[in-house]
Amino acid sequence: MPKILIADDEILFQILLERALEELEDEGVELLFADDGEKALKIIYEQKPELVFLDLVMPRLNGLEICNAVKKVHCIRDVFIIMLTSRGEEYDRRKGMEFGADLYYTKPFNPDEILQNAREILGL
């Protein structure tokens, strides 16, 4: 069963992403949630989601630290990380990609685009 992790400390954005992706649950995709960076990293290591929607600014560990740990330190290549954040400056985008994010989106996001990308990444 494919898994998607939604890692964001703002419950509103967790709910918005869940709604954007809820029809994937009917296709057998499991949605996982984390509201801080340590929880997100633990879920990535233990549950091994194929796709992670990751907020940049979170308590305990930020999105850059998580990307670095997953992609550079532990070299986990089979997880696709989409940084989804309110920080839309080019500097932040470059940093996110440099630390290992595969895509970088700014909030607010287009739910249809999120769903389409998730389908493509998961091969659905």
Q: Is the pLDDT of residue 109 over 80?
A: yes
The residues spanned by each domain of the chain are 65-85+98-105
The pLDDT, as a whole number, for residue 88 is: 65
The pLDDT, as a whole number, for residue 90 is: 76
pLDDT confidence tier of residue 10, bands split at 50, 70 and 90: very high
Distance between CA 64 and CA 83 in Å, rounded?
Answer: 9
Tokens of 119: 């389908």
Strands (E) across the chain are located at 3-7, 30-34, 51-54, 80-85, 103-106
- pLDDT tens digit sequence for 13-41: 999 999 999 999 999 999 999 999 999 99
The pLDDT, as a whole number, for residue 84 is: 85
